[in-house]
Chains A and B, each alone.
Chain A
Amino acid sequence: MARLLDVRDLRVAFRTRDGVAEAVGGVSYAVDAGRTLAVLGESGSGKSVTAQAIMGILDTPPAMVTGGKVFFQGRDLLTLSGEERRRIRGAKMSMIFQDALSALNPVIPVGAQLAEMYQVHRGMSRKDARARAVELMDRVRIPAAAARAGDYPHQFSGGMRQRIMIAMAIALEPELIIADEPTTALDVTVQAQVMDLLAELRREYAMGLILITHDLGVVADVADTIAVMYAGRIVETAPVRELYRRPAHPYTRGLLDSIPRVDQRGGELYAIKGLPPSPLALPTGCPFNPRCPRARDVCRTDRPPLYEVTDAGVMDAGAQGRASACHFWKEELHGLDPIDPLGTAGTVGPLGG
């Protein structure tokens, strides 16, 4: 299968009043043509910033890409000129934002905002472009599309607005769509409809999809692979089933354990203790160590690399490319307690500090 997007060691820093914050500290992930990658993480984990860096829509300054490569269809986007990148944006890769009400221009009718894509990228006449815009609205199942093309964003419901965002993203049938929390701002009842529409269109046009979310529930149905981000780094990547079945990072396990489940009513819900670190003051060693139940001395001094997770005994053939940024991924994967030669695990004391 062809590599559509290959992000390698991408780094993004923000200049702030209190110093330079590395919001993305060496992220690598890949999307194959026609496949779906889910990027999972809390707010502030750098998942949106990574996506914006790929799209080339970071606010610079204060943000700047400080390193790495972004190969898209074989070309490193970071080496292209501004004009070349602009031609790719919207046409070859497009983005769906979380809050469609603020992401759509409030004073331009939605039809015109859709038609603009055809006018700018395809050089269509205004009239033809308008006709295509109506077709597009029809395609994302907006009732009475022709009549509503002249309406403004605030005249639509939240679900309808998000459909218009989706229409805008698929207008030029791009190879890659980045959906940044596409359903977070919606009512739960509408979330599934919008997600289904997105998945259906993705299949139909065979587009690659990066789905950015903090909602593990959304991911299971649509994603092929998952990348979990924490504090600006990837902590685990895995095929979706593998990850759900046997996570190889304590953070992932924490996330899975904190999902409320119907079959465990009455018990107390698990919670990861503590708060994510500030990008201005990352802990030394593994960034997750202050919150990690498995943390040991090595975790506080040595930053774990992204280990390749191999386990021929359990893994099926399709599950290549598993990786975990945990020194003790094996223990985590097999559900073992960490081997603790010094006996310091779990204690809080001089050695643990």
Chain B
Amino acid sequence: MPEPFEPLEARSDTPSDIATGTATLEGGPRGRPWLRRPLPGLRWRAAGRPAPGGGPAPGSRGLWTDAWHDLRRNPVFVVSALVILFLVTIAVWPQLIADGNPYQGNLAKAQDGPAPGHPFGFDLQGRDVYTRTVYGARASITVGICATAGAALLGSVLGGLAGFFGGWWDSLLSRIADVFFGIPILLGGLVFLSVVTSGSVWPVVGFIVLLGWPQISRIARGSVVTVKQQDYVLAARTLGASNGRMLLRHIAPNAVAPVIVVATIALGTYIALEATLSFLGVGLKPPTVSWGIDISSASTQIRNAPHMLLWPAAALSITVLAFIMLGDAVRDALDPKLR
């Protein structure tokens, strides 16, 4: 059990407790404070004074170093990061692994199975399924990354400020977020995007940012409120730190971990959402190459040519899986409590 008068240095090296708003006191080895921090001195003599001598115990590192140390050794992280690196690469340069043309088909070969040089076969219009699957990564990755970046930026700034300043701005923002939460996301997407005629990625990105930011802002707000109440932040405030300095130096670095975790996992679900909207015919539209569109047209032909569905579906699922796994690994690293 922690002594009430821990030396200050013993506190500062456990921001993971702070970031998640919960102390990791009981349970696993990482949770046992006495194994991770400089051991607190005797209660009646440690009062406030930083204890002299006795450097940090082995294994006490900062949150980020600690997390990175964990991540590098986590196979889930390594595999998903490599998959994502690959996906991003082919999203930028699809020609690297596919030299065909995703738009031109040969109707004579429509729905044909695999052939030499065409390992995944042909689609309804006789286009090469392999080439289209490779080119489909671009739309998914673009939507995923841009929508997440937008939602995370908007959400964490709005939520963070609301959490920090509180008051009427906080209440107003919470109500506005409630309004967006009140709209089921798929429904909102159908309604909003059905009136947009452009089939490019940008309306989809805009819509996801519009409905995605409240989730991030809630997390950011909660996280900032928790950090704000920590003793070291109160200490900084008593020492006369300005609001800007408090936010940037003390609060943001310690509050950002949950936002990163939620945003990484959200990235995967945004990609799935884009594909679903495209499947329903309101998201991306041809000539944009998208897995959702290809799956939609393949689903009507599933009895005759299952290969048309299989490859884009597998590519989509693997992409979503990679991002969700990445988020999962990052969460484990940043929040050891959940092991």
Contact = CB atoms under 8 A, between A and B. Distances in A.
A and B touch in the complex (CB under 8 A): yes
Interface of A: 14-18, 21, 42-44, 48, 59, 62, 98-99, 181, 184, 214, 255, 258-260, 269, 271-281
B45 interface: yes
A272 B43 CA distance: 11
A258 B2 CA distance: 20
A260 B39 CA distance: 22
Given A43-B40, A280-B58, A280-B59, A275 B53 contact: yes
Contacts of B35: 14, 16, 18, 21, 278-280
Given A16-B32, A269-B44, A275-B51, 17 more contacts: A14-B35, A42-B40, A44-B34, A62-B29, A98-B1, A184-B1, A255-B42, A258-B42, A258-B44, A269-B45, A272-B45, A273-B52, A274-B51, A278-B57, A279-B34, A279-B35, A280-B58
Nearest to B43: A214
Contacts of A48: 1
B59 A276 contact: no
A254 B43 CA distance: 13
A48 B1 CA distance: 10
B45 A271 contact: yes
A281 B32 CA distance: 16
A227 B253 CA distance: 45
Could you say which interface size class chain B belongs to? 20 to 34
Contacts of A14: 29, 32, 35
B3 interface: yes
B57 A43 contact: no
Instruction: Tell me the interface secondary structure of chain A in the complex.
Output: loop
Contacts of A17: 29-30, 59
A21 B34 CA distance: 11
B30 A273 contact: no
Contacts of B44: 258-260, 269
Interface of B: 1-3, 27-30, 32, 34-35, 38-45, 51-54, 57-59
A163 to B, nearest CB: 20
Nearest to A15: B29
B317 to A, nearest CB: 34
Contacts of B51: 274-275
Contacts of A280: 35, 57-59
A16 B43 CA distance: 26
A44 B53 CA distance: 18
Most B Cβ at <10 Å: residue of A48, A272, A273, A275? A275
A18 B59 contact: yes
Contact of A43 (B3, B27, B28, B30): B3
A16 B35 CA distance: 8
A43 B34 contact: yes
A251 to B, nearest CB: 11
Contacts of A59: 27-28
Nearest to A231: B39
Contacts of A281: 57-58
Contact of A275 (B28, B32, B39, B59): B39
Contacts of A260: 44
A18 to B, nearest CB: 4
A42 B42 CA distance: 6
A269 B28 CA distance: 37
A184 B2 CA distance: 11
Contacts of A18: 35, 58-59
Report, nearest first, the 10 A-B pairs whose CB atoms are least far apart: A275-B54, A44-B34, A16-B29, A271-B45, A18-B59, A278-B57, A62-B29, A276-B39, A44-B39, A274-B53
Nearest to A271: B45
A10 B171 CA distance: 57
A274 B39 contact: no
B279 to A, nearest CB: 43
B66 to A, nearest CB: 10
Nearest to B41: A275
Contacts of B54: 274-275
Contacts of A274: 51-54
Contacts of B39: 42-44, 275-278
A24 to B, nearest CB: 13
A98 B43 CA distance: 16
